[in-house]
């Protein structure tokens, strides 16, 4: 069959069978899910892990001597080990379970409140998600420290020369996302970490958008903190992780008080538990943590090299096809980007395109993607963002491109 | 014409459309054709920040009737505004306060008035009612 689109060796049709949701219909059309940068879909093995937990060993962890509690604790700690191995952390207790990236960032920001002084400075990038801006603004308000911003250029890349000029001995903390959620740009975090360390600043990398596409090695990166969410990498919502170097995690005070995080309590004094429990007050999302481990196993079975190669193929194909549409402009044109395409069509509001393509069964994100400073930079109200995952196909891209053409025709 | 009659008229008009495409094409046409607000009223004060699309609303009273003008930067939102203006504008404040928007469900546009849609329309309807309430107080 000559007209069948060829994919690389990777068998996407087989992979798609792992995701029950991909066979559903939306507005009587076959679903095309291109909102993967907001949340990824869930494979059957992860759904099974969730059902298994509640069906067979639902219990509170680290506390009971009974069998169920032991089983739940073992599985939860095994999940922590899987995460440790995946990110290549040196110690298992350097992995803290959180409710997600935002929680992880706030945990670190809160910890730095007791470290920063008014003359200190924090640097963030212009490519940040709101969740990576607001906690630092709050921290600056609390401590009197100053917030500085690494600017971006028209291609959606950070201007590294400007980073060098704002970096100084006063810089205590640098926060950059590994990959921009709005534009897909892969930031040069290796260089950023190295430069920040030269002035003695700590570095936190937001890996929420990177982890679905690449496998970060926190030791090789020599990063101080790295954060991610399970729901962007085939896991459930409401769970994520914070990696922190042991010496940093020991330096930071606990974030929340509660059960699990204490060693000894009297009314006079409380001794905090050791890592990682010091940062895990209360009953955690046990099922979510375990399913996060399953999701990581699932993605590793496919392999991140395979995923990256295939998604690159989708990105190139979609970019080429979309640019055939008259008046279409892509925002974020860095050479180093993941499978995210943010675009607008001349004189058409992104909301209108999103509404029409939804009617055609296609899920894309429209709006400012919680990155208003980027939209202000381009002087646009928002964009249409299509983000692809390894379970998407070129046929779906064709369906999408035709839908956008149809929307453009209706709207002009 | 009273609000209920206008709403029934709109329901009848939409019943003629065969599918969503025709409904949307009609709304888009409404959005394109109508100059809905005088530029001088497109001010920050009259702006409802809907997150996804912006909506401007202006109100004035003439002969005990409230006249609404409004606009949006997104054309589908603007089309729905045109329908809402047709229903709510040129009415007595009391009728505006008492009116509901159930007809929107019947013409198949329910999702646009969902509070989670963030297009500014839900806030806009609230705003129309607030204006009506304010004018009603003046009349009493």
Catalytic residue annotation of A: 370
Tell me whether residues A381 and B54 touch, CB distance under 8 A. Answer: yes
Residue A351: which of B20, B21, B74 has the nearest Cβ?
B74
Write down the pLDDT at residue A374. Answer: 87
Helix (H, G, I), strand (E, B) or coil at A398: helix
Both tokens of residue A344?
């607008």
For chain B, domains (ranges, CATH) are 3-139 (3.90.1010.10)
How far apart are the C-alpha atoms of A138 and A133, rounded to whole Å?
9
Tell me whether residues A351 and B24 touch, CB distance under 8 A. Answer: no
Tell me whether residues A381 and B73 touch, CB distance under 8 A. Answer: yes
Do A149 and A127 meet the contact criterion of CB atoms below 8 Å apart? no
Cis peptide bond upstream of B118, omega within 30: no
Residue of B nearest to A411 (CA): B28
The pLDDT profile of chain A, 412 residues, written as one tens digit per residue, is 444 555 556 899 999 999 999 999 998 999 999 999 999 999 999 999 999 999 999 999 987 789 999 999 999 999 999 999 999 999 999 999 999 999 999 999 999 999 999 999 999 999 888 777 889 999 999 999 999 999 999 999 999 999 999 999 999 999 999 999 889 999 999 999 999 999 999 999 999 999 999 999 999 999 999 999 999 999 999 999 999 999 999 999 888 777 767 777 777 777 778 899 999 988 999 999 999 999 999 999 999 999 999 999 999 999 999 999 999 999 999 999 999 999 999 999 999 999 999 999 999 999 887 778 888 899 998 999 999 999 999 999 999 999 999 999 999 8
Write down the pLDDT at residue B95. Answer: 95
Both tokens of residue A177?
């996302």
How far apart are the C-alpha atoms of B72 and A379, rounded to whole Å?
17
Among B23, B74, B117, which would you mutate to test the A interface (most chain A Cβ atoms within 10 Å of its Cβ)? B74
Strands across the sheet containing A225-229: A95-98, A240-244, A225-229, A202-206, A171-177, A121-125, A146-150
CB pairs under 8 A between A and B: 40
% pLDDT > 90, chain B: 43
| pLDDT classification of B34: cutoffs 50, 70, 90 | low
Residue of B nearest to A406 (CA): B21
Write down the pLDDT at residue A262. Answer: 72
Helix (H, G, I), strand (E, B) or coil at A125: strand
Q: What is the ipTM of this complex?
A: 0.87
Write down the pLDDT at residue A257. Answer: 75
Q: Which residues pair with B68 in a beta bridge?
A: B59
Give A402's DSSP letter.
H
Among A351, A363, A368, which would you mutate to test the B interface (most chain B Cβ atoms within 10 Å of its Cβ)? A351
Helix (H, G, I), strand (E, B) or coil at A39: coil
Helix (H, G, I), strand (E, B) or coil at A354: helix
Q: Confirm whether B51 is a catalytic residue.
A: yes
Among A130, A347, A352, A359, which would you mutate to test the B interface (most chain B Cβ atoms within 10 Å of its Cβ)? A352
Tell me whether residues A381 and B119 touch, CB distance under 8 A. Answer: no
How far apart are the C-alpha atoms of A94 and B95, rounded to whole Å?
64
Window from A293-297, B46-50, B84-88, B122-126 with minimum mean pLDDT: B46-50
> β-pairing, A340-345 with B47-49?
unpaired
Comparing C-alpha atoms, which of B88, B87, B83 is closest to residue B72? Answer: B83
| CB-based burial, A194-206: b 16+ in 10 Å, e otherwise | ebbeeeebbbbbb
Residue of A nearest to B77 (CA): A352
Write down the pLDDT at residue A2. Answer: 43
B24 inside 8 A of chain A by CB:
yes
How far apart are the C-alpha atoms of B2 and B5, rounded to whole Å?
5
Q: Which CATH number among 3.40.50.2000, 3.40.50.300, 3.40.50.970, 3.90.1150.10 corresponds to the domain A12-43+303-411?
A: 3.90.1150.10
Contacts of A364 (CB under 8 A, 6+ apart): A34, A35, A354, A357, A384, A385, A386, A400
Domain ranges of chain A: 12-43+303-411, 47-301
CATH topology of domain A47-301: 3.40.640
Does the pLDDT of residue B57 top 60, yes or no?
yes
pLDDT, averaged across chain B: 88
């Amino acid at each position: 069959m000559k007209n069948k689109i060829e994919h690389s060796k990777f068998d996407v049709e087989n992979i798609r069978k792992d995701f029950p949701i991909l066979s559903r219909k939306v507005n009587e059309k076959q679903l095309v899910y291109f909102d993967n940068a907001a949340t990824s879909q869930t494979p059957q093995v992860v759904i099974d892990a969730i059902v298994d937990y509640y069906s067979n060993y639902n219990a509170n962890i680290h506390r009971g001597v009974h069998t169920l509690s032991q089983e739940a604790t073992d599985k939860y700690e095994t999940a922590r080990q899987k995460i440790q191995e995946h990110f290549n952390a040196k110690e298992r207790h350097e992995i803290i379970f959180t409710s997600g990236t935002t929680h992880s960032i706030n945990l670190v920001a809160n910890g730095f409140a007791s470290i920063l002084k008014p003359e200190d400075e924090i640097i963030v990038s212009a490519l940040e998600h709101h969740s990576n801006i607001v906690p630092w603004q709050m921290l600056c308000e609390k401590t009197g420290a100053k917030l500085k911003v690494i600017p971006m250029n028209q291609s959606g890349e950070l201007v590294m020369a400007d980073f060098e000029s704002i970096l100084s001995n006063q810089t205590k903390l640098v926060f950059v996302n590994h990959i921009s959620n709005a534009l897909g740009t892969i930031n040069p975090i290796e260089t950023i970490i190295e430069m920040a360390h030269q002035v003695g600043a700590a570095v936190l990398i937001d890996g929420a958008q990177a982890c679905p596409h690449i496998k970060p090695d926190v030791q090789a990166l020599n990063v101080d903190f790295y954060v991610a969410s399970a729901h962007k990498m085939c896991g459930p919502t409401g769970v994520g992780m914070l990696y922190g170097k042991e010496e940093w995690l020991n330096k930071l005070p606990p974030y929340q008080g509660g059960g699990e995080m204490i060693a000894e309590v009297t009314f006079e004094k409380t001794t905090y538990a050791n890592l990682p429990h010091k940062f895990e007050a209360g009953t955690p999302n046990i099922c979510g943590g375990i399913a996060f481990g399953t999701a990581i196993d699932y993605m590793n079975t496919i392999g991140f090299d395979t995923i990256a190669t295939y998604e690159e193929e989708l990105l190139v194909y979609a970019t080429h096809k979309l640019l055939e549409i008259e008046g279409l402009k892509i925002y974020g044109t860095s050479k180093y980007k993941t499978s995210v395409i943010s675009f607008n069509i001349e004189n058409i509001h992104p909301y209108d395109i999103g509404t029409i393509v939804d009617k055609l069964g296609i899920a894309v994100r429209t709006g400012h993607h919680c990155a208003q400073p980027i939209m202000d930079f381009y002087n646009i109200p928002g964009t249409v963002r299509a983000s692809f995952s390894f379970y998407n196909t070129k046929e779906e891209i064709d369906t999408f491109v035709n839908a956008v053409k149809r929307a453009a025709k209706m709207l002009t | 014409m009273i609000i209920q009659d206008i709403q029934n008229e709109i329901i009848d008009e939409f019943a003629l459309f065969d599918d969503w495409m025709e409904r949307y094409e009609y709304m888009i046409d409404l959005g394109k054709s109508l100059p809905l607000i005088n530029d001088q009223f497109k001010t920050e004060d009259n702006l409802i920040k809907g997150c996804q699309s912006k909506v401007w609303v202006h109100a004035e009273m003439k002969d005990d009737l409230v006249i609404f003008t409004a606009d949006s930067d997104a054309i589908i939102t603007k089309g729905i505004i045109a329908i809402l203006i047709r229903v709510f504008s040129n009415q007595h404040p009391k009728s505006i306060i008492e009116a509901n928007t159930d007809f929107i469900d019947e013409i198949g546009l329910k999702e646009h008035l969902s509070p989670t849609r963030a297009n500014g329309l839900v806030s806009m309807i609230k705003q129309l009612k607030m204006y009506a309430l304010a004018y009603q107080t003046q009349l009493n």
